[in-house]
Structure 1
Amino acid sequence: MRGSTATKALSAMLLGSLFSTSAFAQEEGTDEADNQIVVYGRALEVIGVAQSGSQGTVGYADFEDVPISRTGELVENVPGVIATQHSGSGKANQYFLRGFNLDHGTDFAGFVDGAPINMRTHGHGQGYLDFNFVIPETLERIDYRKGPYFADVGDFTAAGTVAFTTADALDPFAKVEAGAFGFLRGVAGGSTRVGSGDLLIAAETQFYDGPWVLDEDLERFAGLIKYSTQGHDSSFSVQLNAYDSKWNSTDQVPQRAIDNGLIDRFGNIDPDLGGKTTRLGAVVNGTIGSTTYNAFATFYDFRLVSNFTYFLEDPVDGDQFVQVDRRWVLGGSVDHQFDLGAFDLTLGADLRHDAISKVGLFNSVGGVATTPIRTDSVDETGLGLYANGEVTLAPGLRAILGLRYDHISYDVSADLAANSGDGNDGILAPKASLAWQVTDALELYANYGQSFHSNDVRGAAITIDPVSGDPADRVPVFARAEGAEIGARVQQGSFHASLVGFWLKLDSELVFVGDGGATEANDGSRRYGVEANLFWRPTDWLLLDASYARTDARYVGPPAGMRDIPGAVPEVFAGGVTVKPVTDLTLTAQLRHFGSAPLIEDGSVKSDPTTLVNLGGYWDFGPLTLGAEVFNVFDAKDADITYFYESRLAGEAAGMEDLHIHPVEPRQLRVSARYRF
């Protein structure tokens, strides 16, 4: 253990005593119990405003009293999204949505305060989406939109988009959490008036060993400083955020090793795996009249040690490898809204430049890099231009038309000169939507749109495979997505429900390849499915919410019988019940389920379904809230993630195809104390 228990406890206590200034509440709607202002984002009236049946907002109060075992699970507030993990708490989560195994972010775009989080041409996987730097208590809301129907976003948006927004002001608080397997977390924050604005400061530290035979030894630190002002017809905010984490990881392990008693279910094959991430960011947001602007600068440093196939390629030293990524991401966006009477027009542009000083893959032994497989420096610049117009065709009937153009230019400098090169490409994407408000409580939607994900531009410049030396096929810079959706939304008092059916086609599927530890471009694909969502607060003391999604996903192109998409989860269900039996007590039960998925193209091997139930209880004693959370109440022995590929263990004569699983964590209790100053 790198940090002693005493050191960890002291760190948490120090965070708990950082802030003692006053602040202003930043929420809407009144809780009759204590007159505290609360917003339930899922209860907001969006009929007459929303563009589709699959978009919405989640307010902080929606997930404040919901058990969340790791930061990345915040995205599970988006109906139909599942977030899992297979390589330690410090690594970006594995996301599943609309029949996609999104790996760590492909076709799922993420933003925090307007800054894009997906990483292009990343050392671990295209579109890598790591939300671990977010401090949950600082969030004001989560906005989500599914499908390629929105002109103001471009790359990675085929399946959906999620945008986190931090609060401008917070009541000062301090919180300490402790639980099984060495879990300890301390977070504190608050804001005060400075001049004409609010200064918010928050910090978090977390330590965790996990149930693994090899201690995860997670050490995580995050901080946020934000200053914001609000004028008559303008607003401005500037923030600095910082994040650093390091961890050991127990990756997925072969089922045969568990069955044969070689390792425990929570054991490992390679004890030298893990990673570290450092992220420093600056973000500016503002409005001037009808103009909105954003600018961001992010420094990012990443290192990950993995070994998925053990001794398949190298029976002596093993197949361990190191992935690294070091870059600056610079950019911004601007848009202006024109009120032309019956027609509202928005024109916008966004710019992003990734200055990647080092992105590489190395062989390694004992966690130490040995021979390089490939190292590159890359400059990649993306420019997006869009127009979006909304017109009222008849009373209650709106039409929204959009057009977006994206252009990416790149310059790859590879250690192998033949793989260096530069180039550029562009893509035009139309959008169209209809929204018909049938009654005050019912709105119908029809949507069509095109979008894309970018490919790793090293694949656009490559000519020679750096491992085999054989000629390599290049991939295009863009893979187009095309989709359509019909939906309905009902909002009657506290009852909110939506139902949508969707269709989506991709020119090329990005798929995680287990035996290579990489995301590769594959055949085109098509998906169609249905989603249903419910949010109902029948009384002041009872809240019900549920979401269900069913998707049929297939490759387009391969012969019949070889069209299943590995990892494409066909069925997802999540539900929750929250009750307040007395004024100061909140009890909640949350369930999530994702179904059996094909693991190879012929569908002959499938994963088992996974079902988890979490419970939470929160007691208010004036400014003090005590909490208790039980994760995996029924101690399910399911898998968080399952792959099927060939690997070789020490002593085996040859490689074997096998299931490789990362188990869900066992039942565990966490308790917390939060004090509001």
Structure 2
Amino acid sequence: MSRFVSGITTSLCLLASPAALAATDDAGGASAMADEVVVTAARRDLIGSAVTSSQGVVVKEELELLPAYRVGQMLETVPGLVVTSHSGEGKANQYLLRGFNLDHGTDMATSVDGMPVNMRTHAHGQGYTDLNFIIPELASGIGYTKGPYYAAQGDFAAVGSVQMGYVDQLEDQVALTAGTLGYQRAFAAGGADVGNGHLLAAGELAHYDGPWDHPDNLRKGNAVLRYAQGDRQDGFTVMAMYYRALWRATNDQPARAITEGLIGRYGTLDPTDGGQARRMSLSGTYATPVEKGWLAGGEVTANAYVINNQLTLWNNFTHFLDNPVDGDQHAQDENRMVAGGAVSYSRPLRLLGLEHEIVTGLDTRFDDVHVDLQATRARVPLAMVNSDNVREAGGGAYIQATSHWTPWLRTVVGVREDYLTATDHGTNAGVVAARLFQPKGSAIATLWQGTEVYVSAGRGFHSDDVRGVTPKGAAGGSAPLLAKADGEEVGIRSTILPNLTATLTAFQIDFVSELTYDPDVGQTEAGRPSRRRGLELNTTYAPWDWLEFYGSVAFSHARYTDSDPAGNFIPDAPKLIGSLALYLKDLGPWSGGVEYRYFGAHPLIEDNSVRADGSSEWNLTANYTLAGGLRFGIGLYNVFDSKDDAADYYYTDRLPGEPAEGVSDRHVHPLEPRSVRFTVAKVF
């Protein structure tokens, strides 16, 4: 913690400014917030529109200036969110928010241009959120929420949600990047007016080895074709996307293997671990004002999508614990089709002499997935462990009303109901269904100009892996299909000084069943009931148009709430998460960003007898743009060459010659050492 305090002390003197918040009065309208508000609103322009103190937007400019080592770290512009990794670069990242280790995306609903990214009943982890298909230059901005207070947000959104928009137009450009640790990337984009709209095409190719003794050899390609006509209030878009990646992976390794010299700090006991992924999607959005009929005066927005995801992960976490001859490597496979969409209607309304805004909508989603687990040796199949064909169908309907009672008091009240049914034909055969009613509400009082207080309460949920819910599933189907979460928070947002904004939020959230990661099998599973209480401070200070300071820190107290004798500490739940950033914007030809990211010490087992130290690092980027559109950039990552670990776990595995019952040990995945990347880009 001392490392964080020393960093934050030097900056909070300048920064007392809140982290981005906010949204619109129809908050929770995911794609509207991401695609429209994010492009035009600044972090500090949220008084009078936000539903809670922990809701906000991130503009495109901040995404471009953040020194992100990997594409998933673009999400670190969301206050209190840290993105890290414990495996190869082709795999979904790990996300930490408000004292939650969200593994690969549990309880943080993420969407891109209205398409959900979280995957249900996934081969590796419930809510798996792989962002490697995103091309960073195409992101238009981010809208985010925290807590279960937004009626339009459904599955996985109880802790938080992130909605990323994509641009409709981009200047013709190319960019080439090369750096240490075997990093290369090429990007190109171009567009043309077609008919009454605009056609945009973009693609990237990337390669990365990393510092690993057995290089990742990541090979990744992305392509996007997008047609847009009209604007976000009256128009439509159609987008096709393709993504393909192959890689090797150095997973978390037993600490004793490193200290005993069996492998180096960047080594692996099974160099055949790795993965391959493919994603294809077709999606569209539509918005129109309603000018006739009984719906006149409102606006309709809609989106639809179809996605194909294919993934294979080869992981050997326990080495020779279960199979002392061939080892414990497994292949986790899935082939998935997802189809769905959403529609909403919003309009202002004057009733009983008061001004209101009404938003009502529904969303639906269907998943058809084949998922299996095979025992393998050096990626060669040995035996099928289990195989499931799962179909999940469901959706939610909601209504939300924002009412302005006085010039200084407004309320946002909503209800949502979700229904989900699933059928499993396979190892864990069965049929299950559940529904959940979710009330939500906020009261917002303007104390004086530039200062608002928020009080919020609501219910949300995450769905659980169907294989643990069916009668033949884990523990005879003991997991709830829809695990509810109840939350409350109180917060304040204030423009303390010109160009200085701050938010302070106290929160509590209770889960009836927390999703936890079981490293023994490389899978998330439904766990014990839990509670988190915490405090979050965010600050944004922009003394000049060309300079912005930003800081965020979240303290949390995380405990299981049952009486299990194993203990009530929640493994991998950090008590402190924080970040500091500086953005340099168009200072003549110069632009860039500096970021400090930190997550604190945390327990690794329930009785708190084994702990991890946490992690911190500094990253920076700098760009110089010539008048003709030629740009030179440099990125420096892990500037001070921190030797911290990016991820830590504690579990039992077995190395050759050890007792049959194995050895319980810390398993670590180190931060990448200092590295540098150089970019040359040209806008035409």
Specify if TM > 0.5.
yes
Residues 1:398 and 2:410 aligned together: yes
Q: Deviations over 1:417-466 (max 9, x none)?
A: xx31113110000000011222331111111010000011121214266x
Q: Indicate which of 600, 604, 610 corresponds to 1:605.
A: 610
Residues 1:349 and 2:373 aligned together: no
Instruction: For CA contacts below 8 A with separation 6 or more, give which structure has more relative contact order.
Output: 2
| Matching residue of 2:666 | 659
Residues 1:578 and 2:580 aligned together: no
Q: Indicate which of 631, 645, 653 corresponds to 1:647.
A: 653
Paired residues of 1:398 and 1:435 also in contact (CA < 8 A): yes
| Matching residue of 2:424 | 412
Q: Indicate which of 489, 493, 503 corresponds to 2:493.
A: 489
The 1-side partners of 2:374 and 2:401 are apart by 49
The 2-side partners of 1:348 and 1:90 are apart by 35
Residues 1:452 and 2:461 aligned together: yes
Q: Secondary structure at the match of 1:104?
A: coil
Residues 1:435 and 2:435 aligned together: no
Q: Which amino acid aligns with 2:501?
A: H
Change (3 A) 1:367 1:151: same
| Matching residue of 1:372 | 384
Q: Secondary structure at the match of 2:543?
A: strand
- 1:378 Cα deviation after fit: 0.9
1:172-211, aligned counterparts within 5 Å?
172-211=172-211
| Matching residue of 1:235 | 235
Paired residues of 1:139 and 1:165 also in contact (CA < 8 A): yes
Paired residues of 1:499 and 1:531 also in contact (CA < 8 A): yes
- 1:615 Cα deviation after fit: 2.1
Structure 1 length-normalised TM = 0.91
Q: How many residues align?
A: 635
Paired residues of 2:44 and 2:500 also in contact (CA < 8 A): no
| Matching residue of 1:297 | 306
Paired residues of 1:42 and 1:56 also in contact (CA < 8 A): no
Q: Which amino acid aligns with 2:303?
A: N
Residues 1:530 and 2:542 aligned together: no
Q: Which amino acid aligns with 1:346?
A: V
Q: Secondary structure at the match of 2:258?
A: helix
| Matching residue of 2:683 | 676
Residues 1:287 and 2:291 aligned together: no
| Matching residue of 1:66 | 66
Residues 1:264 and 2:273 aligned together: no
| Matching residue of 2:24 | none
583-592 or 269-278: bigger deviation: 583-592
- 1:395 Cα deviation after fit: 1.1
Q: Deviations over 1:247-300 (max 9, x none)?
A: 000000011111111111000000111001100011110112111111000011
User: How high is the sequence identity, in percent, across the aligned residues?
Assistant: 39
Change (3 A) 1:338 1:646: same
1:39-118, aligned counterparts within 5 Å?
41-118=41-118
The 2-side partners of 1:489 and 1:40 are apart by 20
| Matching residue of 1:512 | 517
Structure 2 length-normalised TM = 0.90
The 2-side partners of 1:517 and 1:580 are apart by 43
451-460 or 649-658: bigger deviation: 649-658
Paired residues of 2:396 and 2:417 also in contact (CA < 8 A): yes
| Matching residue of 1:545 | 550
The 2-side partners of 1:670 and 1:41 are apart by 31
Change (3 A) 1:40 1:266: farther
- 1:41 Cα deviation after fit: 4.6
Q: Secondary structure at the match of 1:316?
A: coil
Q: Deviations over 1:63-105 (max 9, x none)?
A: 2122111111111111101111111110000111111111111
| Matching residue of 1:222 | 222
Paired residues of 2:250 and 2:273 also in contact (CA < 8 A): yes
| Matching residue of 1:637 | 643
Paired residues of 1:310 and 1:648 also in contact (CA < 8 A): yes
232-241 or 95-104: bigger deviation: 232-241
Q: Deviations over 1:503-533 (max 9, x none)?
A: 1000001100111211111110000101111
Paired residues of 1:215 and 1:248 also in contact (CA < 8 A): yes
Q: Which amino acid aligns with 1:452?
A: F
The 2-side partners of 1:579 and 1:163 are apart by 25
- 1:561 Cα deviation after fit: 7.3
Change (3 A) 1:423 1:653: closer
| Matching residue of 1:387 | 399
| Matching residue of 1:142 | 142
Change (3 A) 1:39 1:119: closer
The 2-side partners of 1:332 and 1:578 are apart by 36
The 2-side partners of 1:503 and 1:350 are apart by 27
Q: Deviations over 1:538-578 (max 9, x none)?
A: 12343211100001000010257710000101101100123
Change (3 A) 1:588 1:338: closer
- 1:235 Cα deviation after fit: 1.2
- 1:231 Cα deviation after fit: 6.2
Q: Which amino acid aligns with 2:222?
A: A
- 1:582 Cα deviation after fit: 5.4
Q: Which amino acid aligns with 2:591?
A: T
285-294 or 40-49: bigger deviation: 40-49
Aligned-residue Cα RMSD (Å) equals: 1.9
The 2-side partners of 1:136 and 1:348 are apart by 30
Q: Secondary structure at the match of 1:213?
A: coil
